[in-house]
Each structure stands twice: as structure tokens, then as C-alpha cells.
Chain A
Amino acid sequence: MTAYQIIFYLLAAFILSTAVLSVTSRKIFRSAIWLLFSLTGIAGLYFLLQVEFIAAVQIIVYVGGIVVLVIFSIFLTQQAGRKMPNPPMIRTVASLLSVLFGFVLTWVLISQHNFHTAANEFNWTVSKIGLQMTGIGKGGYALPFEVISMLLLAAMVGCIVIAIKVPSAVSSSKSSPGTNPDQ
């Protein structure tokens, strides 16, 4: 058991246990924090697999962006301290059975393949990722890169339009009662 294997099994146990706690916790804020731990564990797994760029992107975008956004939305909808009700028992049992069945089916299908691990090592550097991301030759990803920038712009505009609070007309507040203080 090398150190690499020990760290991997510890990380895998951490990721799965915090994910289970995140989906079964009764308090919503704790569920968000367990999710944060799970995503950080996945970033640690990426560091172990030597894809450091993806690990950094995971921490910045997922942990530092999405989970913070989720926590903001929990506070904005005033749900922070309340205990969520348990789902009905039949739903928990049925979901557990179906998920277990799905997992066993997928695992049987996966384990029938003999994956032949490629012999040569990889060498991914950030410069290679950058050159291929903006490349226009064969295997270049310049077009998805531009399309996703448009998608992010559209998402930003859409979020603002959906969530904006239209200010009520000022004239309706000028005719409010309060002009007869002697009654």
C-alpha cells in the first residue's frame, strides 16, 4: 500500500461520505457545507491525478462560486435555520432501492470491460491547454470557447432580467394617507 493508494482511498471515502451527508441532512445550511466539503475533496482528487489546472478551476468556480451562490440564495429565501421535513418513508425506501439497483446495474456493465491502460504517460501543461483551447487547426477548441462566452453573457443578462425587482411607481406612494393628522 503506497502513500498514493492510501491518499486515494481516504479521499474517495471523504468525497462519498460528505456527499451522502449532503443529500440526507435535514438542515439546509449544513447540506450546503457538506457539499462544499465534497467539492473540495473532488478538487483534491484532481490534484492527485495530476490535472492541477482542473483542480484550480474546480476550487475557483465550484467551491468559490457556485456554493457561495447557493448560500446566498439560502439567506435570501430565509431558510437558514429551519429544519426541513423528512420525506415520506415510502419515497425514501423506493428511491434507495432504485438507486441501488441502478448502481449495481451500472457497475456490472462497467466491470465487464477490460480497460487497457495506455502505456505512455501524459504531459498536460497549462500552456498546452491554452494553445489548444484557442487553436483553430485540427483539434482546436476556438469555436466552443467563443460560443461559451456568449452563453455566459446570455446567462448573466437572463439572471438579471429574471431576478430584478421592478421598482413600484413613485406616484402611488405620494397619495398615501397621512395627510389628515388631526383625526
Chain B
Amino acid sequence: MNEIPLSHLLFVSTALFFIGIFGLFTRRNMITMLMSIELILNSVNINFIVFNKYLYPEKMDGIFFTIFIIAIAAAEAAVAIAIIINLYRSHQSIDVEDAEEMRY
């Protein structure tokens, strides 16, 4: 545990977070935007585990947060894909720029 400094692990999770944000900004396809959101959630999971292990090894709260985030991310991905499938039936496209009827 003492061989890898905490800051190196935080570098990995921060870089993963911003890679996910870059994907969320540049993608137009709804499914690839969902994949970028999963990368962001995974970076937060790494952060929780690493802080729990390095700073508070006698408590387990980081582990529980990670378990709950994984469960909620699974539920959210399922609902998002159901919405995408429903939208595809009416628009025949999963481009996020094509779903614009509620504007104006």
C-alpha cells in the first residue's frame, strides 16, 4: 500500500473523469454519450475506494458508496437504454440533435 503514492491514483481517476467529459461533449450519438457517463461514474468509484483505503482504513464507507453507485449506475443505464429504444422507434435515429420537438 505504501508503494504507490495516493496522488498517482488520484491522477488516474481525475484523467478518467475528464476523458469521460470530453466524450460527453464531442459525441452526438446517445449510446456513446451513455458510455462516457459510465466512464465518469467509474472514476468516482476509484476515488471512493482509494480515499477509503489510504486515509480511513478502519472504516468501510467508501466501499459501500461504491457498491451503491454501481447499483444505481446499472439501473440508470437500463432506463436510459429503454428511453433510447423508444426514441428510435419514433425518430428512426439516435442522434441527439434529431430529438428536438420539445423546443420552441
Contact = CB atoms under 8 A, between A and B. Distances in A.
Interface of A: 2, 4-5, 8, 12, 15-16, 19-20, 22-24, 28, 31-32, 35, 38-39, 42, 45-46, 49-51, 53-54, 57-58, 61-62, 65-66, 69-70, 72-74, 76-77, 79, 84-85, 87, 91-92, 94-96, 98-100, 102-103, 106-107, 110-111, 115-118, 120-122, 124, 128-129, 132-133, 139, 141, 144, 148, 151-152, 155-156, 158-160, 162-163, 165
Contacts of B86: 162-163
A162 B85 CA distance: 9
Q: Which of A15, A23, A24, A151 has the most CB of B within 10 A?
A: A23
Contact of B39 (A38, A46, A87, A120): A38
Count class of interface residues, chain B: 35 or more
Interface of B: 1-4, 6-8, 10-12, 14-16, 18-23, 25-29, 31-32, 34-36, 38-39, 42, 45-46, 49-50, 53-61, 63-64, 66-68, 70-79, 81-86, 88-89, 94
